[in-house]
A and B are shown apart, each in its own frame.
Chain A
Amino acid sequence: MGRYILQRFIQAIPTVIGLTIVSFMLVHITPGGPAYAMLGPKATPARVAAVDRSLGLNLPLWDQYGIWAWQLLHLNLGISYFYLMPVTTLIEQALPVTLAIVGISYVLAHGIAVVLGSVQAYFKNGWFDHGTTAINYFLYSMPGFWLAILLLVWFAVDIPLFPTGNLCDPNTVCNLGTWAYHMVLPVMSLTIGTVAGWARYMRTSMTDTLVQDYIRTARAKGLSETRVLFKHAWRNSVLPLITLLGYFFPTIFGGALVVEEIFNIPGMGLLTFNAAIKRDYPIVMAAVLIGGILVVIGNLVADLLYGLVDPRISYG
């Protein structure tokens, strides 16, 4: 197992190096530099050249990449052009917020999807199964941002149960309680869409499991139906969902961006969005890189979890 982890870790290194190259290239080979965004209508070629010089953008691309990558090795992500703060500081503030939204939604969605899919499979082709499938199709086809707007209109405007945005009110004290209160709608938006996709997989997987021989054996032994379901069937049917954990990670990250934008939550999504529009290169490069690395880690963890849950897979 230890060897396998090490092996997978080493395999991930070229991907991460590739990510640094892609995130650097994406920002640098596209037209329109940050100088234009900073100077606005006052941009003259001389002023643009001066700004480019001060930011080191006049150096050959290869040198710029070298400088950036060398600093990266020292965990220095540069200074934001617009906030004039170290990018590391900005990300230290924003990343935990996004990880919290994504993490909570992930766990909730997983839990709900497993229960929903299992019940569907157990009462296959019954009214509950068909009803849930129909609703899931609808929710799955619904754009995340529309769902978020609807939740906002229903539960924050029409019935003012929850705040319309931000992480806490400016004139009250911020604590875990207010934070959780502000998180309800964003997390709901992200969870509902994810459940719709996952419950389907869970239903298929549970259906396949319920017809296996060992389930029949368990029933024949006289085990109670709950025991058959939760001890025998459930464990095996969750397996495919674990692989999906890694697969859905990039999608959920994208979803978080939209949700943060709608609820004005200062997470990575909002930071990246604003930086992309203002061409704040250091932030954009860092965000793409970190997003990519998190996805790589997500896939790695999914792989390892798979081995932990499924005794048939041994990593030698």
Chain B
Amino acid sequence: MALPPSELTANVTEPQLGPDVGPRGNRQWQIFWSSPLAWIGLVLTAFMVLFSFVGPLVYHTSAYTPHLTHILQPPSARFPLGTNTLGRDELARLMLGGQLTLIIGFIAALLSMVFGTIYGLASALAGGFTDVLLMRIIDVLLAIPGLFLLLLLDSMFTPNAVLLTAIFAGTAWFGVTRLVRSEALSVRTRDYVEAARSMGAGTWRIMLRHLLPNVMGVVLVTTTFQVAGAILGIATLSFLGLGLPPPQPNWGAQLSTAMQSMFQGAWWVIYPPGLCIVFIELGVNFLGDAVRQAFDPRLLGN
């Protein structure tokens, strides 16, 4: 029996009109982009990225040249943010310091996301004794205060950018793993996974095609917050003197130098590096909250 053309088209187009239908991911990105938090976060993050990477292209003063006749000078036309105790230009050092901080922060968070997700999925899929053992290891690693762990690993090597990235990634993935595993466990028992298994899908196929898309929300949320964590961690380690060796600038290390001139009222070395850290942290935290609103299944419906 042939249907009139009008009814046919109605049947085809109707599902797309309903707000709840359509690819799940699209709807979540819609929620994300409609959140003011996302936009503020994006603007702040973009601003800090531009400041660090495009800034040095526009502002040509060297971050390394010590101007020995201009030690700890307040902001002036020549040095817009003043100079530090070695007579180095603060603004140029802020820009250069931002580059490595951002690169290390983002790559470390990505690496820990990949590793944490694989570990979590593997643990959930393996089940039984393997799962218990793998999660016990995570329990132990989570119990050690993170900064202690960073401090230990970092103090035993001579830090360089690659090593710092590895250390941050290596100490950040435990949290992701826990969340991914519990999320995957709840998906694993659903009917369609059982169906896929009974149709002969292998472990890898189930992991990649069925579990991974379902845990992506949780992974995205934690990864965003991990970027914030890693950036804060780099700043903290550098402040403690365990970051990249001088003269390589870093916001944390700049604050540690600033403490030496605390009594001289040198506000220009104390406020700008701290504000740089706050801006990027605020930006990433805002983004994280927006991503959580859009993707965290537990918040859906609120």
Contacts and interface: CB of A to CB of B under 8 A. Distances in A.
B262 A250 contact: no
A142 B149 CA distance: 21
Contacts of A32: 156-157
A274 to B, nearest CB: 10
B252 interface: yes
Nearest to B256: A145
Contacts of B221: none
B152 A26 contact: yes
A17 B145 CA distance: 17
A254 B145 contact: yes
A40 to B, nearest CB: 16
Nearest to B156: A30
Interface residues of A, number: 49
A92 B208 CA distance: 51
Interface string B179-197: 0000000000000000000
B140 A288 contact: no
A141 B282 contact: yes
B143 A149 contact: no
A128 interface: no
B147 A254 contact: yes
B281 A253 contact: no
A179 interface: no
| B-side interface mostly | helix
B155 interface: yes
A32 B252 CA distance: 26
Contacts, number: 133
Q: Find the residue from A140, A149, A261, A284 having the highest chain B CB count within 10 A.
A: A149
A296 interface: yes
A146 interface: yes
A291 B148 contact: yes
Given A27-B152, A149-B255, A250 B143 contact: yes
A49 B20 CA distance: 71
Interface in A141-181: 141-146, 149-150, 152-153, 157-158
Interface stretch (B88-96, B110-118, B210-218, B233-241): B233-241
B151 A273 contact: yes
Given A276-B155, A288-B148, A288-B152, A295 B143 contact: yes
A229 to B, nearest CB: 23
Interface in A228-265: 250-251, 253-255, 257-258, 261-262
Contacts of B252: 143, 145
Given A141-B282, A145-B239, A253-B145, A276 B151 contact: yes
Contacts of B286: 137
B230 interface: no
B233 to A, nearest CB: 9
Contacts of B72: none
Contacts of B270: 149-150, 153
Nearest to B280: A141
A295 B240 contact: no
A18 B148 contact: no
Contact of B147 (A23, A257, A295): A257
Q: Find the residue from A137, A140, A295 having the highest chain B CB count within 10 A.
A: A137
A105 interface: no
B143 A19 contact: yes
Contacts of A258: 147, 236, 239-240
Given A18-B137, A149-B259, A150-B270, A295 B144 contact: yes
A261 B236 CA distance: 11
Interface of B: 136-137, 139-149, 151-153, 155-157, 228, 232, 235-236, 239-240, 252, 255, 258-259, 262-263, 265, 270, 273-274, 277-278, 281-282, 285-286
7 contacts: A15-B136, A27-B152, A143-B235, A153-B262, A254-B148, A258-B236, A262-B259
